[in-house]
Structure 1
Amino acid sequence: MSWFAALRDTTRDGLTLDRTLTNPQRALRGAVAVALVIFPTLAIGGPGLATSAAMGAFIAGTATFQRSFRPRPTIAAAAGAGLGISTFLGYLAVGVPGAFPVLLAVWAFGAGLMWAIGPTAGVVAATTVSVMLVVVQLPVSVPAALGHGLVCALGGAVQALLIMIWPIGNWTAQREALADTYAELADYARRLRHDPIAHLDPAPFITARHAATMTSWQERRRPAEMRGLRSIAERIRPALAAIADPKVGAPAEGPERDRARDVLAAAAEAMDAVARAVRTGDPLRLPRSTPALTLVPPAGGPQLRGAARRAARRLTGLLRRAADTLDGTDEEAISTLAVDVGGRLRKPPLYRMVPVAARAVRRQLQPRSAVFQHAVRLSGVVTVAYLLARLVGFEHGYWAPLTAAMVMRPDFAQTYSRGVARLAGTVVGVALSTLVVQLLDPGEWLSAGLAVLCIGGAYLTHRTGYALTTACVSSYVVFLLGLQPGNPLATAFERVGLTLLGGGVALLAYALFPTWQSARLGERLAEWLAAAGRYNATALAVYGDPVAEGGAQEVRAALLDSREARSELTQAVQRADVEPGRDKTRLPDVSRKQLDRARASVGHLGRVGLLLEAHLPGRDAEPVPGVRDFADEVRYGTALAAGALLTGRRVEFDAVREAHTKLERQLAQLPQSDRVDVVRSATNLLLQALKDLERALRRGVGQPAGPAREREHAGS
């Protein structure tokens, strides 16, 4: 994509407005919390303290609108505490000549590193930089600085308290995540009717798993119908694939395939009904097609046989259990399935997340890390924008670094789309609010009231578009700072100019020092390949040793690793597609087209693991000889192939093929059984996927032999 096309698309995205609004009650609650802070503080402490308190309440409320499955009072309180600390330190530093730019650079660098924890932490940390810039204007004494920091934190505390007193849709996010999982399963079942090797989108499952990771407080209070349904969905997924796959399920053509299509269609309608019931909380209403799920076909109709019949029986039982769980009639299912395979998912209290967050940040402290590069870029841009504004001599010079801090993101698309939206929204917001000030000449109390009204609009349009939200926020800041003396018209022109300055510096800095996702696609592919290999190897190992402890749990853990790796690659590809002039990866001699073919091959490899998981033997089953050794070879071979992919050596699986030949000889000596058939079919599919991967990554120059040769060298 050319630079012109990339800028055109990001500009269009930044200025696009949706018709979606935030829940009006939640927007009203956030605005009420700001009002409860600003008016008493204005009456008691005056405009200065009122500004600090209002900014704290505003940012803490904004933090609760970020995507998170934690209790929102916790997020608001944590955001308020961070704002208080940043404000206090800023007030102390601004009184020491030359200290504030240093503090600003260090604080912005730390805020950039918070993206290692997650997007919510990164956004909230960036807002602390903005608040530091807005409320810190004149040097004050240490007690006064402490007072400003405390009232800023008070704003967050009031938001948290109001959320607890006035709960709105506490479980909406969890319901949406769980319902999306069943809706994706329904679409997956429909795709399997026409494409037996269709792929499942893992994103809803990843989101649902994060939603199911709850604190003890949430665990005790969550609705009964939400207990256990995610575990059932995880078991439905391989059952659907096992019915549809022609290698281990129903034949590719014929009456049995028609019967499999009927079962899949009925399952899709049943899962749509489950999704609707979870999303709305209404009673479950199963469709009339549900009887088609039974193993008894219509009179004289075809029947499913073998592995397909077992998978259909499992699917029917799981859907019945999901229906009973929603109806609250299956107490055993509720009590047993609430515990996920691999252990109960618990989200620790926020204070216990500090060591985890510290480790996540420490892992990013390396020059090649995208998060580290973003932190350096954010620190430099904010500091340069601040110094340029001071050099030009603007009175309200903080507006330029504020714009830069709110625009900068770790990837190209978000930075440029938000930059354009920020510039447009700020110009409109400042112009309109300044016009209101000129016409009405509001006093302190009316300005505070208009500020509360604007922040309510910002909360209400949080999901509508960043440009409109920015216009509301800019008006809020204008009215809030209108509590201070000054010429509104001159200030408006100054803010518009500083916004252009800060936004321009941010966009120019990203263009000169970018973090291209295209260059990291190879790393993401290698991680997914290694994870998919572990998933297959772990599932195969259960066939070789069914009585081993933790077999099913290890398979589930390997599946989650593979799913996360695939999701990270998918997100990187989506971001890379909108980057200008990026058609190559960092991998030697590997083009983007080769990388796309390799993604498809690794996707087929993940599907093999899915089929193996669908027919995992019980602990009382007889082990299949030779499978364990082959599983070890798959694990080792895919790990070496991932390393070869990154270092530019040839990717090949000669050792895996040799192990497969040995396994086939052992399987030929065994009596015919369903488990042997599943292993034989799955391993053949696995070899085909690895062969396709070799072809996709084949280079034109000679390379030393990869895994097989390296293994011999390591053994010597």
Structure 2
Amino acid sequence: MNLQAREFRYFLYSQAFADGLRTTVAVLLPALVGSFYGQFETGMTLSLGALCVSLTDAPGPLLNKRNGMLLCTVALFLVATLTAFARQHPVTMGLELVGAGFFFSMFNAYGPRAAAVGNAVLLIVILTMDNPLPPGGVWVHSGLIAAGGLWYFALSYFFSLALPYRPGQRVLGECIRELARYLHIKASFYDPSSDLDSGYRQLVSRQVLVHEKQDAVRDILFKTRQITQESTLEGRRLILMFVETVDLFEDITAAYYDYASLRRRFAPTGILEQIAEQIREMARHLDDIGVAVQMDRPYRADGTLEAALTRLKSAIDALPKLPSESHLVLRKILVNLRRLSGRLTELEHFFDPETIPERKSRLDHGLFVSHQPLDPKIFWSNLTPESVVFRHSLRVAFACLFGYFLTRLINYGEHSYWVLLTIAFILKPAFSLTRERNVQRIIGTLGGGLFGVAVLYFIPSREAQFVIMVLCMLGTYSFLRINYLAMVCFTTPFMLILFHFLGMPFIELAQERIFDTVLGCAIAFGTSVLLLPSWEADQLGGHLKGLLRANGNYLDLIISALEGRKVSQLSYKLARKELYVQTANLSAAFQRMLNEPRNLQRSKKHLHPFIVLQHILFSNMATLATDLLRREPRAHAPALVHSAQKALRTLEGGLERMHAEKEAVLKEVESVPGVETAPAAEDALMKEQLDYINQVCTDMDKALRQIGL
């Protein structure tokens, strides 16, 4: 229970709760003021505009948020006006649903924020189509919706200017906490009682989440001018802490060993359990750092990590020396743990203003974030059946049209637009996401409906009902972007209580909502299966090519370092980021494929080992790269260069077999004259590492052949 209370407290400081609280205030206030002055309809229309614009207010750079909200406000005014006239005849309304459903779903080609603008406009179409207005009231109604959007924009912009660093702090804190969970999973590999295969599945899944969090932090920190200029203490702190966490993630990932061999050799000694517990303790410290950043609180280390590492060293030294056994691998693990401890200490230093350097991070931050231009060519280039966005837009247009005419034929209840709302918001480009949201929508509606009916039946006090409604609003908007099931569970009782206040019978209302939800889910699911479906297996080839290219580019930098050339920090970190991105993309696609029909899950038993091998490959390449880049450039033995080039040729061969363009990653590099050659002993250790990398590349190539792409 204490853990649950602690997590709830952290949630109150999260970006999701901050967004939910702001949206609740923005939506609730106009309705309350309108009701107080006897203009409830006016207040509700203002609230509707605020709600639609809030969908576009995802965390991100202030400039992007401002442009998205203003664009959405203009689009809402125009489309609300058009819908008020089109609704007067079923044919014109059907035509608008097809046009709006297709056109605004195509906004997915421009990224999540543009897609949110499209969703907001579809929402206003659906909520306006059943609202009869006199000709003279159309412009007033559309103007009020736009005014509500501007009201939300003003409120959001005020908080962004008043608290410019809080979004960055919250998202960075969440990123650090996700990294702590990743490290906690890593500890299980040293625990002899845990299952290695299950551990790899958890690790791959968590790695996708870490990448998503890192991408969110980059988007906020590196695109916000006030932060990237690092002219303030807080700006420098956030940037440097994030750079340190990315390096920490690399160190965690690079710490790979043959865990099965470790368990066979050292499980009887009990030392592996001590190592696992030490890593879990580090994960707890890292989680505490993330919480402190997220809550904008000071943090002071308790100094227990160093003492624990000293005890672990003593335990390793005390192990009996056997002629057939070497403890060198345990000492390597200890060195890596000390390196991780040093990273944690660096993060702790950033809480002391006197230790934050005046210098900037010396990196061009703009190179680490993606820039999505609003170029019409992107729209036109996606108007092809091969485009996932085009197929999705067609499905949305057809499903909305079919749902609209079906509800007119059935004529069940007074809120048939709920069917279209269900269709528009659970139909996603990927079948797996549509299927997942179908299940969550039905479960959430049933559970939330039962709770809402219980509240209205057993709690007669209207004041208590109002408080519960506001809390459900807060839950709805807080979980909107992070947990769809929880959001639906809060939305259904919120809607039931709201309509009850408007004088509607809640039992019949609950029955109607459940019926409309099930009908909408059935239409959305059927459309996603029957109309130009997009299966993840069809996208795997592109993800695999991207991953092989990223591996090749990263390995090419290692070859440059082996030949004695200096590798710039910027080039290395860009190659590392690209490898993170491509690994996460493939892992996420694999997870989505597992939610698709079994007969379409192509090469599942071969793809999972490939992903595990990719994790092993990067761990070993990162270990080698960090060792090379920490030292002054010097040429190593030609045999090492040839070994690395052999691994690169294996990756390149996989690309050629997949009918990709031949990658010019294998380069002829002139020898560097007058460069000191590395010692033979060091070369022997690197030769062992490179031989293992070669073997992993060969195993990946075999798996790639079995996948059949």
Q: Smaller-chain TM-score range? A: 0.7 to 0.9
Q: For residue 214 of structure 2, what is the aligned residue in structure 1? A: 208
Residue 291 of structure 2 corresponds to residue 279 of structure 1: yes
Kindly provide the amino acid, as one letter, of the partner of residue 620 in structure 2.
Answer: V
Q: Secondary structure, in 3 states, of the residue corresponding to 1:87?
A: helix
Q: For residue 246 of structure 2, what is the aligned residue in structure 1? A: 234
Structure 1 residue 31 displacement after superposition? 2.9
Seen in structure 2, the aligned counterparts of structure 1 residues 123 and 181 have a Cα distance that, compared at 3 Å, is same
CA contact (8 A) 2:610 2:704 kept: yes
Q: For residue 539 of structure 2, what is the aligned residue in structure 1? A: 520
Q: For residue 603 of structure 1, what is the aligned residue in structure 2? A: 615
CA contact (8 A) 1:112 1:375 kept: yes
Structure 1 residue 38 displacement after superposition? 2.3
Q: For residue 4 of structure 2, what is the aligned residue in structure 1? A: none
Kindly provide the amino acid, as one letter, of the partner of residue 288 in structure 1.
Answer: T
Structure 1 residue 508 displacement after superposition? 1.8
Structure 1 residue 519 displacement after superposition? 3.6
Seen in structure 2, the aligned counterparts of structure 1 residues 210 and 39 have a Cα distance that, compared at 3 Å, is closer
2:553 alignment partner, one of 534, 537, 543: 534
Residue 574 of structure 2 corresponds to residue 557 of structure 1: yes
CA contact (8 A) 1:528 1:562 kept: yes
Structure 1 residue 396 displacement after superposition? 5.2
Seen in structure 2, the aligned counterparts of structure 1 residues 414 and 271 have a Cα distance that, compared at 3 Å, is closer
Write the mapping of 1:330-479 to structure 2, written as runs, cut at 5 A.
Answer: 330-332=355-357, 335-336=359-360, 338-339=361-362, 343=365, 355=373, 364-392=382-410, 397-423=416-442, 455-456=473-474, 458-459=476-477, 463=483, 465-472=486-493, 474-475=495-496, 478=499
2:103 alignment partner, one of 97, 106, 110: 110
- For residues 74 and 694 of structure 2, the distance between their equivalents in structure 1, rounded to whole angstroms, comes to 55
CA contact (8 A) 1:434 1:492 kept: yes
Gaps of at least 5 residues in structure 1 are 1-17, 586-590, 664-668, 707-716
Q: For residue 288 of structure 1, what is the aligned residue in structure 2? A: 304
Residue 584 of structure 2 corresponds to residue 567 of structure 1: yes
Seen in structure 2, the aligned counterparts of structure 1 residues 402 and 261 have a Cα distance that, compared at 3 Å, is closer
- For residues 317 and 19 of structure 1, the distance between their equivalents in structure 2, rounded to whole angstroms, comes to 30
Q: For residue 327 of structure 1, what is the aligned residue in structure 2? A: 352
Q: For residue 606 of structure 2, what is the aligned residue in structure 1? A: 594
CA contact (8 A) 2:56 2:113 kept: yes
Deviates further, 303-312 or 466-475: 303-312
- For residues 473 and 605 of structure 1, the distance between their equivalents in structure 2, rounded to whole angstroms, comes to 50
Kindly provide the amino acid, as one letter, of the partner of residue 207 in structure 1.
Answer: K
Write the mapping of 1:648-663 to structure 2, written as runs, cut at 5 A.
Answer: none
Deviates further, 385-394 or 399-408: 385-394
Compute the RMSD of aligned alpha carbons.
5.4
Structure 1 residue 382 displacement after superposition? 0.8
Seen in structure 2, the aligned counterparts of structure 1 residues 284 and 673 have a Cα distance that, compared at 3 Å, is farther
Identity of aligned residues (%): 18
Q: 1:607-650 CA deviation, whole Å, 9 max, x = no partner?
A: 23212222124684223365677766755652441342468x9x
Deviates further, 555-564 or 238-247: 238-247
- For residues 577 and 465 of structure 2, the distance between their equivalents in structure 1, rounded to whole angstroms, comes to 52
Seen in structure 2, the aligned counterparts of structure 1 residues 173 and 232 have a Cα distance that, compared at 3 Å, is closer
CA contact (8 A) 1:242 1:311 kept: no
Q: 1:656-715 CA deviation, whole Å, 9 max, x = no partner?
A: 9xx99x99xxxxx976346634542332122201221233344699xxxx9xxxxxxxxx
- Higher relative contact order structure (alpha carbons within 8 Å, sequence separation ≥ 6): 1
Structure 1 residue 109 displacement after superposition? 1.9
Q: For residue 693 of structure 1, what is the aligned residue in structure 2? A: 700
Structure 1 residue 522 displacement after superposition? 4.0
- For residues 546 and 385 of structure 1, the distance between their equivalents in structure 2, rounded to whole angstroms, comes to 63
Gaps of at least 5 residues in structure 2 are 1-6, 319-326, 671-675
Structure 1 residue 301 displacement after superposition? 4.8
Q: 1:536-573 CA deviation, whole Å, 9 max, x = no partner?
A: 2223223224235xx33222212211211111221122
- For residues 687 and 126 of structure 1, the distance between their equivalents in structure 2, rounded to whole angstroms, comes to 48
Q: For residue 633 of structure 2, what is the aligned residue in structure 1? A: 621
2:151 alignment partner, one of 141, 149, 158: 158
Seen in structure 2, the aligned counterparts of structure 1 residues 628 and 210 have a Cα distance that, compared at 3 Å, is farther
- For residues 102 and 544 of structure 1, the distance between their equivalents in structure 2, rounded to whole angstroms, comes to 65
Residue 673 of structure 2 corresponds to residue 681 of structure 1: no
**TM-score normalised per structure 2:** 0.73
Kindly provide the amino acid, as one letter, of the partner of residue 535 in structure 1.
Answer: Y
Q: Alignment length, in residue pairs?
A: 648
Q: For residue 179 of structure 2, what is the aligned residue in structure 1? A: 181
Structure 1 residue 465 displacement after superposition? 1.8
Q: For residue 56 of structure 1, what is the aligned residue in structure 2? A: 49
Seen in structure 2, the aligned counterparts of structure 1 residues 259 and 85 have a Cα distance that, compared at 3 Å, is farther
Deviates further, 185-194 or 637-646: 185-194
Deviates further, 215-224 or 428-437: 428-437
Seen in structure 2, the aligned counterparts of structure 1 residues 82 and 570 have a Cα distance that, compared at 3 Å, is farther
Kindly provide the amino acid, as one letter, of the partner of residue 216 in structure 1.
Answer: R
Structure 1 residue 258 displacement after superposition? 11
Structure 1 residue 405 displacement after superposition? 1.0
Q: For residue 655 of structure 2, what is the aligned residue in structure 1? A: 642
Kindly provide the amino acid, as one letter, of the partner of residue 179 in structure 2.
Answer: T
Structure 1 residue 375 displacement after superposition? 1.7
- For residues 604 and 332 of structure 2, the distance between their equivalents in structure 1, rounded to whole angstroms, comes to 39
Structure 1 residue 175 displacement after superposition? 1.2
- For residues 513 and 298 of structure 2, the distance between their equivalents in structure 1, rounded to whole angstroms, comes to 50
CA contact (8 A) 2:175 2:214 kept: yes
CA contact (8 A) 2:636 2:678 kept: no
CA contact (8 A) 1:226 1:278 kept: no
Structure 1 residue 377 displacement after superposition? 0.8
Seen in structure 2, the aligned counterparts of structure 1 residues 288 and 621 have a Cα distance that, compared at 3 Å, is same
- For residues 489 and 541 of structure 1, the distance between their equivalents in structure 2, rounded to whole angstroms, comes to 71
- For residues 681 and 302 of structure 2, the distance between their equivalents in structure 1, rounded to whole angstroms, comes to 33
Kindly provide the amino acid, as one letter, of the partner of residue 24 in structure 2.
Answer: A
Structure 1 residue 233 displacement after superposition? 2.8
Q: For residue 523 of structure 2, what is the aligned residue in structure 1? A: 505
1:577 alignment partner, one of 575, 578, 594: 594
Seen in structure 2, the aligned counterparts of structure 1 residues 533 and 264 have a Cα distance that, compared at 3 Å, is farther
Structure 1 residue 152 displacement after superposition? 1.7
Q: For residue 713 of structure 1, what is the aligned residue in structure 2? A: none
Q: 1:359-405 CA deviation, whole Å, 9 max, x = no partner?
A: 76566444233333222111110122112223445675533322211
Kindly provide the amino acid, as one letter, of the partner of residue 615 in structure 1.
Answer: D
CA contact (8 A) 2:237 2:356 kept: no
- For residues 102 and 440 of structure 1, the distance between their equivalents in structure 2, rounded to whole angstroms, comes to 45
Kindly provide the amino acid, as one letter, of the partner of residue 322 in structure 1.
Answer: L
Structure 1 residue 505 displacement after superposition? 1.7
Structure 1 residue 600 displacement after superposition? 2.9
Q: For residue 11 of structure 1, what is the aligned residue in structure 2? A: none
Seen in structure 2, the aligned counterparts of structure 1 residues 592 and 357 have a Cα distance that, compared at 3 Å, is farther
- For residues 216 and 631 of structure 1, the distance between their equivalents in structure 2, rounded to whole angstroms, comes to 41
Seen in structure 2, the aligned counterparts of structure 1 residues 70 and 581 have a Cα distance that, compared at 3 Å, is same
Residue 550 of structure 2 corresponds to residue 543 of structure 1: no
CA contact (8 A) 1:38 1:448 kept: no
Kindly provide the amino acid, as one letter, of the partner of residue 356 in structure 2.
Answer: E
Q: 1:393-420 CA deviation, whole Å, 9 max, x = no partner?
A: 5675533322211221223343234334
Seen in structure 2, the aligned counterparts of structure 1 residues 584 and 644 have a Cα distance that, compared at 3 Å, is farther
